[in-house]
Amino acid sequence: MVEGNLVRKIDFLETEGLDYTYLPNPLKHTSVSLSDVFSNKLRLEANAFNLEAMAEKEKVKNNKFGFVNLWSEDGLVSHAFYPGRFKRIYVSKKDGKPFFLPSQLTEVKPKATKYISPKTYKSLTGIIIEPNNLLMTRSGTIGKCTISSKTNIGQLYSDDVIRVTFKNHVDLGYTYAYLQTRTGQTILQTNNYGAVVKHIEPEHLENIIIPNAPQELKEAIHKLVVESFDLRDKSNELIDKAEIILYKELQLEALEDLKVEYLDNSVGVRNYTTKLSKLNLRLDASYHIPICDRIINHLKMNCKEIKYLRNDDVSDSIILPSRFKRTYVAIKEHGIKFIGGKQINDLNPSSNKYLSKIIHKSRLEKELALKENCILITRSGTIGKVSLVPKHWENWAANDHIIRVFPSNNNIAGFLYCWLNSEYGLQLIRQHTYGSVVDEIDTNHVGDVPLPIFNNQTKQQEINNLVLKANDLRYKAYLKEQEAIKKMEEIINTTN
């Protein structure tokens, strides 16, 4: 009924020019028994009795395999916890251990931006990720999940990540697949609390019901999930290998070890000069930091030539869509999946937004649609996050906070991504940052980012091929995960 109304609204927009963007959603209401209130630990907020969640719970209860509470005597979870809060002492990269935030939990290859002192983490228990754990964000954007794999085992994540262990190893992948379904997420979200920042606690897993499928089905789903994460790890290994070759061929060291000379080192403040010919009408000091000149000079001595992203043999086009009013649809078949900058490093962005195919047809064709091996760069807020579009993102749409770089061909796409994704590429992208409140860059700035061309073209092509193969492995990982989720949905929807 709701979907039908939405379709009619779109028709009105086309014929009458009416704007339904800010109309309130229809009021939803239901009655709740006193026993339900008591069983829900006396919670009185409406979200605890969410109508959609109640419908999804009925589906789980009516599946032919029965159900169990996730964390109970007969359930799947053996233990769930998160480390206590702790004071964080941040240090330089060479003196500390990478420290990851909950927002990075679902990224395929998270990159640490902070490094924590051994004095902090060595005295704590449970902060280092261990094998065979389900990891779940517990505050802010709650319920984002991943499992421990080569990429994150042994790494440090904050206390805002719940660690879950299971009685049987196959329950790990099985539960992960369940929490990736609409049913699992809807039920999980009813347990959040908090007026400003939403939270969940480990004990809320006691309220989550899950189908109690036979062992062979659990094993099949778990196997698919593990295979998906193995493919992601192999993809990351190829990216690491490509970056090692990049650094070796250009004789690069860690960026923080690159020595920079300042005008006067005795005053305790970074100070430097720049030539009038290099101002480019930019008077902000950050644009002229000496390290960027140091990088360029180093590259000139160790590469064949320096090209720029605006060059025709590097990119076909660099596009930043103009701002626009967005019209979303509820029926997936009528829309195009729409993602934002926070999600471009995820394998399968969790966005539930779909742009209308009809209303945004022209803009989708010209500006918004993504293509395989296109490179995405965030241009505001957190500047310089880089992603290579995998095959399953083909013809999705991204918002106007993301710059698209369309490589001239696939013989340079992987190499270009590897350079931009390195700490050196990031430094040269962020050099162009402007803005007093919200940082920004635009397409002209991205076009001015230098790209070193190797003396050894064989090595450059090797990097390119490694990155493209890694991108293909991520597509295969996505297919494995989707197969596991599909099997889980079949279990949920199968009744006696």
User: Is 246 among the domain residues?
Assistant: no
Q: Which domain holds residue 395?
A: 251-453
Residue 122 sits in the same domain as residue 211: yes
Residue 139 sits in the same domain as residue 76: yes
Determine the pLDDT at residue 3: 40
Determine the pLDDT at residue 194: 60
For residue 218, the domain's CATH number is 3.90.220.20
At 219-239, the pLDDT tens digits run 999 999 999 999 999 999 999
Residue 69 sits in the same domain as residue 160: yes
Best CA proximity match to 160, nearest among 189, 140, 133 = 140
Residues sharing a CB contact under 8 Å with residue 354, sequence separation 6 or more, in sequence order:
328, 329, 330, 331, 332, 334, 335, 336, 337, 338
Residue 281 sits in the same domain as residue 315: yes
Using pLDDT thresholds of 50, 70 and 90, give the confidence band for residue 47: low
Residue 221 sits in the same domain as residue 267: no
Residues sharing a CB contact under 8 Å with residue 169, sequence separation 6 or more, in sequence order:
132, 222
| Angle, CA of 466, 469 and 474, to the nearest 5° | 125
> Who has greater pLDDT, 102 or 390?
390
Residue 146 sits in the same domain as residue 295: no
Residue 41 sits in the same domain as residue 165: yes
- Which H or E run includes 220? helix 215-249
Residue 397 sits in the same domain as residue 436: yes
User: Is 244 among the domain residues?
Assistant: no
User: Is 419 among the domain residues?
Assistant: yes
Residue 210 sits in the same domain as residue 283: no
User: Is 211 among the domain residues?
Assistant: yes
Residue 286 sits in the same domain as residue 205: no
Mean pLDDT calculated for residue range 169-183 = 96
Residues sharing a CB contact under 8 Å with residue 390, sequence separation 6 or more, in sequence order:
347, 372, 471, 472, 474, 475, 478
Please give the C-alpha separations between residue 322 and each of 147, 336, 413, in angstroms, as whole numbers.
38, 18, 25
For the whole model, what pTM was predicted?
0.88
Main-chain phi, psi angles of 467, to 5 degrees:
-70, -45
Which residue bears the tokens 């010919």? 277
Residue 63 sits in the same domain as residue 134: yes
Residue 216 sits in the same domain as residue 279: no
Determine the pLDDT at residue 195: 54
Record the tokens describing residue 303, joined without a space. Answer: 């590469």
Record the tokens describing residue 383, joined without a space. Answer: 């500047």
Q: How far apart are CA 395 and CA 338, in angstroms?
A: 10
User: Is 115 among the domain residues?
Assistant: yes
- Whether residue 475 is predicted with pLDDT greater than 60 in this model: the reply is yes
Query: By the 8 A CB rule, do 170 and 215 touch?
Result: yes
CB-based burial of residue 465 (10 Å sphere; 0-12 exposed, 13-18 middle, 19+ buried)?
middle
User: Is 27 among the domain residues?
Assistant: no
User: Is 13 among the domain residues?
Assistant: no
Q: Which of 267-281, 336-350, 384-398 has the lowest mean pLDDT?
A: 267-281
DSSP letters along 333-383, please? GGEEEEE-GGGTTBSS-----EEETTTTHHHIIIIIB--TT-EEEE-BSST
User: Is 440 among the domain residues?
Assistant: yes
What is the β-pairing status of strands 315-319 and 161-166?
unpaired
- Torsion angle, alpha carbons of 36, 40, 46, 51, to 10: -60
Q: How many domains does the chain have?
A: 2
Record the tokens describing residue 255, joined without a space. Answer: 């960026």
Which residue bears the tokens 């897993």? 205
Main-chain phi, psi angles of 360, to 5 degrees:
-105, 20
- Whether residue 11 is predicted with pLDDT greater than 70 in this model: the reply is no
Determine the pLDDT at residue 5: 41
